[in-house]
Amino acid sequence: MTSKRNTVRGDDAVLDAARDCVLAVGVRRTTLTDVARRAGVSRMTLYRRWPDVRALVGDLMTREWLAVTVGAMPHPGPTATTNPPLAEALISGLRALRAHPLLRKILDVDPELMLPYLFDRRGASQDRVLEFIEEALRHGHADGSVRQDHPVRQARALLLILQSFALSMQIMTDDTDPELNEAAFYAEARHILERILVP
């Protein structure tokens, strides 16, 4: 048990160092040597756990995106209903993700890093986010606040919508027009989610 806790703590220190490196210079210019130096560990320690920077950054993204998801998801009590809190939670998570410095840096400097997760396969963080959404949907089905349907398909459809807003909203907004600014698009996204979820 202690060994596992120490491993998690050690991984967190390395992931923190990787985050600092990526925020400073981007993914392409980050090296395992830089991360090891910043984390205060040997390169061999890193190579035993991560074969390359992309694998390390993949684990970093998983940790960071899951923290956003866990922080946003509703925790319904015995008398609470799931919808609209689920729609609110999804929008809250969307806002937090779009504002996240790691995502902003990757999209600004290394956007190609996101392409496999959009066109080829789901990543670990996407699968975990889907699990959280599915669980919330099942609660909503049980309390009658969410439209009954196949929860896995519903969760995947919701994530497709959220990904589109998270990664592409900036090309559609116009900050000079209050009807087309970021706040207006968040309101539109919430409306879409509520309409999809309503029984």
pLDDT computed for residue 165 by the predictor: 98
pLDDT computed for residue 1 by the predictor: 45
Phi-psi region of 100 (alpha: psi -120 to 50; beta: other; left: phi over 0): beta
pLDDT 10s per residue in the chain (199 long)?
444 444 546 799 999 999 999 999 999 999 999 999 999 999 999 999 999 999 999 999 999 999 999 999 876 555 556 667 899 999 999 999 999 999 999 999 999 999 999 999 999 999 999 999 999 999 999 999 999 999 999 999 999 999 999 999 999 999 999 999 999 999 999 999 999 999 9
The domain 60-197 having CATH identifier 1.10.287: the answer here is: no
pLDDT computed for residue 147 by the predictor: 96
pLDDT computed for residue 75 by the predictor: 67
CATH code for the domain defined by 1-51: 1.10.10.60
pLDDT computed for residue 73 by the predictor: 84
Q: What are the domain boundaries of the chain?
A: 1-51, 60-197
pLDDT computed for residue 76 by the predictor: 59
Tokens linked to 38: 């910043």
* CA angle centred on 168, ends 71 and 15, rounded to 5°: 45
Runs of H (alpha helix) within the chain: 2-25, 32-39, 43-49, 53-72, 85-99, 101-109, 115, 124-143, 151-168, 182-197
Of 42, 45, 64, 46, nearest in space to 55 by CA: 46
Kindly tell me the sign of the dihedral angle through the C-alpha atoms of 177, 178, 180, 186: positive
10 Å CB burial of residue 66 (0-12, 13-18, 19+) is middle
State the pTM of this model: 0.87
- Those residues with Cβ within 8 angstroms of residue 121's Cβ, 6 or more apart along the chain or in another chain: none
DSSP 8-state symbol, 79: T
